[in-house]
Structures are given as structure tokens and as C-alpha cells.
Structure 1
Amino acid sequence: METEGTMSAQQSEMNDFWTRQAQDPRSSEALLATHRVELETDDEWDALWILRYRGGPQEFEMARQLTCSSDSKDRMIGANLLGQLGRPPTFVKESVAILMGLLEDPDLDVIETAITNLGHRNDARAVKAMLPFAKSANAAIRYALAIALGRMARDEATATLVAETLTALTYDDDEDTRNWAMFGLGRESDVDSTAIRAALAAGTKDPNHEIRGEALVGLARRQDDRTRDALLHEWADDEVSLLSLEAAEILADPALFVRLTELLSVLDLDDDQRFKNQLLTAIAACRS
């Protein structure tokens, strides 16, 4: 559980980061050249972040021209720049239009990059154009879509479309895609339906403990009656995740109190204060 001091430290670190970007003396052309080197050497994308931070007409035009390149690597650089251009965001409408155009790119890597950056732009206008990629044969594209959609449910109609697609992706063969879809559906979405609850209930039996945890949180948020038994089953072997404890706190079911207090006595919590705090919070929530 994050403390006020932790959040303040993180905010201070972020402010320092953006201050450094503003003070960088290099031209945008030089920064683009440096970013090309970053891509070849797997370095951090510091140069690209500075371009994003500047976010002015020059940087937008640079990104636009890159997306028109015959080189797919250039088109991906342009998409990565457009997706987070400006602080606060600049050229949003124009960027979204270009990124949506890249959804028709012949290169699958470019499409994946466009989907990722449409998620960063968080513009509901792009949702309908993105949804067909839930059926893509390319796992990386489905994975990018699962991450992006969780950020994009602005209005009720869009939220419903997003939830329906995420529900389908919770059954995906790719574990990472299932994980993000379950997160988006269970934690980020307030849409409720029989199909959504069925997907969340199925997720509580997933081989991946993190996916099970996100599913439990989603069921608990909807106060589904299956949550209690799913949690007790999850804790049967004293294998307890932080997410399952969060779900218990949300559910606040007195029937979980005894098992939670047992866990307090059998688990070694000396080296994990965050986990211990969450367990204590769950116990308090479930106390009758």
C-alpha cells in the first residue's frame, strides 16, 4: 500500500525527469538520430522522451513524416512519438487520425505499435477501428489491444464495446493477453453482465496466479456470490496473493474472517509489510 511519502517521492522524481528533458540542448533532428541508435543498442529511450516532451509543431511534423516513410522502422518511430506527444498532450486529434491510418499498415509490427499508442492517447474515437484486431492471428497484436482497451472506456457505449472485447480476450491462448484483459475487465471496467461474470469466474481457475487474482478482484467488485468460495479455494494451500487479499477486502464477507485470521498466524510476514498491511485490512473489512 503506497504511503503519502512514497507518492510524494515518486512525484518529485518525475518532476526532476521532466525538468531534465526541458533543459536538453540538442536539436530535435539530433535527438531523432540518437533515438535510432537507442533502438539498435537496446538503450533506454531517453531521446524519444525528450522529443515527446517538446511536443511542438516541429516534433509533430517530424512524426507525421516518419509515419509516411517506406521504412517500417521509421513508421514505428513516428507512431511511438505521436502516441505520447506533448506534456500536456498536444496534437491529439491529428495524432489519433494518423495512428488510426496505421491500423491498415501492411507490417504487423507497425499495427501493434499503432494500437499501443492509440491506447496512450486514450481517445474513444479509435475504439471501433481497433476492436477487429481481437481476432488477429498475431498474439503480439492481441496483447497490445488488451493493454490499450483498458484505458479507453470513456462513455457508456464505448465502455460496453470495450468490455465485450476484453471478455473475449480473457479466454485467449496467450497468457499475457489473458492477464491484461482480465485486469482491464475486472479492475478498470464497471460494466456488468452474465458473460462478464462468467469470464471472471473462469479466470479464478486460470493456471496463472496473477490472472486468478485479477479475476477475483473483478468478481468481488461486482459482489458476485462465487467470490467467497473462489477465495477459500485460492487459499487452501496457504498460497496467498496480494490481489486475493484485495478481493477479500472489497467483498467484505464475514465468512472469510476465520480463514484470514488463520493466514495471519501461518504466514511469515516479517519481511513484507505491504502484504501484512493488506492482510490486516482484509481482516478488518471481513470482521462481522
Structure 2
Amino acid sequence: MSTLEEMKRDGRSTAELIAASLAQIDDEDGKRASCNPLAVLEARGTREVFDAAIALSGARDSKSRRLGVTILGQLGSPARTFPEECCDALLKIIHREQDREVLIATVFAFGHLGNRRCEGALIGLRNHSDDDVRHGVAFSLSGATSDAAVGALLELMDDPYERARDWAATSIGQTVSIDGPEIRDALLRRVNDADVFVRAEALHGLARRCQSASKIDPRSAFKIDPHLS
């Protein structure tokens, strides 16, 4: 029996799963085992779970709101259920939320949902003062190809926070359909980045473009400052 099948056969009620999820929400291991109540809720993906997530997202306490937006971001995973309604709900939440942890969870939820209607809200947060919010913006804009989204990702490639730079470089680097001198110059700047993961993503992005009729001399594209090795 697959993990997904095990989760769908879980006999706990929605209320029981929510109570268990609230008790575990501060766990930092990030594992989604078959017994994980949050993973079960997301896999179940029913209207009942959606309604419960909406109720949680409007709760007084921030932990409940954080759980609500997390569920909305991955409801029905891997086959998403109510994606447009989830997007509508998250768009309302992101404009009103003041709690740091809930805001970060909402930004990442957009990335998991993958609905491009969220791009405007995310772009508006690209210069947010919180490092993890900007990291979430870079993550959630992954795969975006609109001029505004690409412009935001190019800005985030120069962000002072390495995880924001890493995801921006990943997003730009993997989307080979986005190309041109500005894109390649941005990737070249990150080849000598202080962070090894950012350097790797920049190199991968350039290599992909070199494989598709690149105009960059690979010998110059991959010259890394030895002091940063």
C-alpha cells in the first residue's frame, strides 16, 4: 500500500486531524510521514477540509491561522482540489495578515499552490524587511515568466539573504525559456557568489543556456574566483 493510500484510509475525523496538527505545528523536522495529520488533511482534500482550513485561517490565534494557510496551499496534494478557491482565500489573507509566521506560511503556500494569480501580491513583497518573506517570494515565483515576475526574481538574485538569492537563482536558472543578455549577466554575477548553493544554481542556469545555442564563451562563464572556492 502506498503512503498516499495509507493517508486516504486514515480513519480520524477532520476535527481530530486538526487537533493533532495544531499540537505538531511547531515541529521543525518537516517530515510528511503517513501518520502526519497535516499530510492526511492535505491528501484528503475534501470540501469539509477546505471549509475547516478557511475557518482556521480566520481564527484569533496565529497558530490556527498558520495551519489554515498551510492546508490551503497543498489541499488535495498531489492532485489539487479547489485550487481557485484556495487562491482567492490566500489573496485575501496575505493583504491583512500581520503575524510574521503566518505571513511567511502564506507566501510559501502560494508557491505550493502554483497559481499565477498570486504573482502581483508576491511581487509586492519582494523588498519586505523580513529575510524569510523575501525567501518565500523567490520560492513562490519559481517558474514564473511574466516580465514583472522575472524582474522581481532578478532583484532577488542580488538580495543580501543567501536563501533568497539561492531560490531566485534556481527559479531563473531552471526556466530556460527566459533568456537574453540581462538574464545571463545576472547568472554570471552569481557565479562568484559567497554561497556555494547560489554559485551552483547560477552555473547550472548558464550550462542549460549554453546547451541551447548559448552565445556565452563557457570558459569565461564558469571562471570562479578561487578565493570563494
TM-score (norm: length of structure 2): 0.88
1:94 maps to a residue whose letter is: E
1:66-116 C-alpha deviation (Å, 9 max, x unpaired):
111111111110000011101421111110011111112122222211111
Partner residue of 2:147 out of 160, 171, 174? 160
Whether 2:186 is the aligned partner of 1:196: answer no
Whether 2:87 is the aligned partner of 1:96: answer yes
Alpha-carbon distance between aligned partners in 1 of 2:140 and 2:189, rounded to the nearest angstrom: 23
Structure 1 residue 236: Cα displacement: 6.8
Whether 2:25 is the aligned partner of 1:39: answer yes
Q: Classify the secondary structure of the residue corresponding to 1:143.
A: helix
Partner residue of 2:105 out of 109, 113, 132? 113
Give the count of matched residue pairs.
Answer: 218
Query: 2:61 — aligned with what?
Result: 71
Residue ranges of structure 2 left out of the alignment (5+ in a row): none
Say if 1:52 and 1:81, in contact at 8 Å, map to a contact too: yes
Structure 1 residue 42: Cα displacement: 4.7
% identical equivalent positions: 29
The within-5 A match list for 1:1-288 is 16-40=2-26, 42=28, 44=31, 46-87=36-77, 88-104=79-95, 105-151=97-143, 153=144, 158-222=145-209, 223-231=214-222, 233-234=223-224
Alpha-carbon distance between aligned partners in 1 of 2:13 and 2:170, rounded to the nearest angstrom: 40
Q: Classify the secondary structure of the residue corresponding to 2:125.
A: helix
Structure 1 residue 128: Cα displacement: 1.2
Structure 1 residue 60: Cα displacement: 0.5
1:152-191 C-alpha deviation (Å, 9 max, x unpaired):
x2xxxx5332221111001000011111110111113521
2:163 maps to a residue whose letter is: D
Say if 2:176 and 2:208, in contact at 8 Å, map to a contact too: no
Say if 1:143 and 1:180, in contact at 8 Å, map to a contact too: yes
1:31-66 C-alpha deviation (Å, 9 max, x unpaired):
111111212555645100101111111100000001
Alpha-carbon distance between aligned partners in 1 of 2:83 and 2:26, rounded to the nearest angstrom: 29
- Pick closer, same or farther for the CA change 1:134–1:42 going to 2, 3 Å: closer
1:99 maps to a residue whose letter is: L
- Pick closer, same or farther for the CA change 1:194–1:230 going to 2, 3 Å: closer
Superposition RMSD on alpha carbons, in Å?
Answer: 2.0
TM-score (norm: length of structure 1): 0.70
Alpha-carbon distance between aligned partners in 2 of 1:208 and 1:220, rounded to the nearest angstrom: 18
Task: Provide runs of 4+ in structure 1 moved above 4 Å.
Answer: 40-45
Say if 2:43 and 2:76, in contact at 8 Å, map to a contact too: yes
Alpha-carbon distance between aligned partners in 2 of 1:226 and 1:167, rounded to the nearest angstrom: 22
2:190 maps to a residue whose letter is: G
Alpha-carbon distance between aligned partners in 2 of 1:70 and 1:226, rounded to the nearest angstrom: 57
Q: Which moved more, 1:204-213 or 1:166-175?
A: 204-213
**More helix, by proportion:** 1
Q: Classify the secondary structure of the residue corresponding to 1:82.
A: helix
1:73 maps to a residue whose letter is: K
Q: Classify the secondary structure of the residue corresponding to 2:126.
A: helix
Q: Classify the secondary structure of the residue corresponding to 1:135.
A: coil
